[in-house]
């Protein structure tokens, strides 16, 4: 159930995050995840709970979970 793929700019991983309900939520999650080393792009979509992350290398789930927790939400897992 993992949607991780190598692309030219790095590795793209889609995470499921619960609790996001608006643009402010998207920004909070995106801001925290973008601070992780190697992350080049983050797109959070509150309506689906999906967060697409592009990074130089695969990220440790614990680091992503900590970033999402810091934003006040819960990482459900990868899609």
Q: What is the DSSP string of 38-62?
A: TEEEEEEETTTTEEEEEESSPPPHH
What's the rounded Cα separation, in Å, for the pair 12 and 9?
A: 9
Average pLDDT for runs of 10 along the chain of length 79? 55 97 98 97 98 97 98 97
What's the rounded Cα separation, in Å, for the pair 9 and 56?
A: 7
CATH number at residue 36: 3.30.70.100
**pLDDT of res. 78:** 95
Structural domain count of the chain = 1
Is the pTM above the cut of 0.85?
A: yes
What's the rounded Cα separation, in Å, for the pair 37 and 46?
A: 24
Query: What domain range includes position 36?
Result: 4-78
What's the rounded Cα separation, in Å, for the pair 75 and 36?
A: 15
């Amino acid at each position: 159930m993992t949607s991780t793929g190598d692309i030219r700019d790095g590795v793209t991983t889609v995470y499921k995050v619960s609790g996001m309900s608006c643009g402010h939520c998207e920004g909070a999650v995106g801001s925290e995840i973008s601070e992780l080393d190697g992350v080049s792009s983050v797109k959070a979509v509150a309506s689906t709970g999906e967060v697409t992350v592009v990074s130089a290398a695969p990220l440790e789930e614990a680091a992503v979970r900590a970033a999402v927790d810091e934003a006040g939400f819960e990482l459900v897992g990868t899609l």
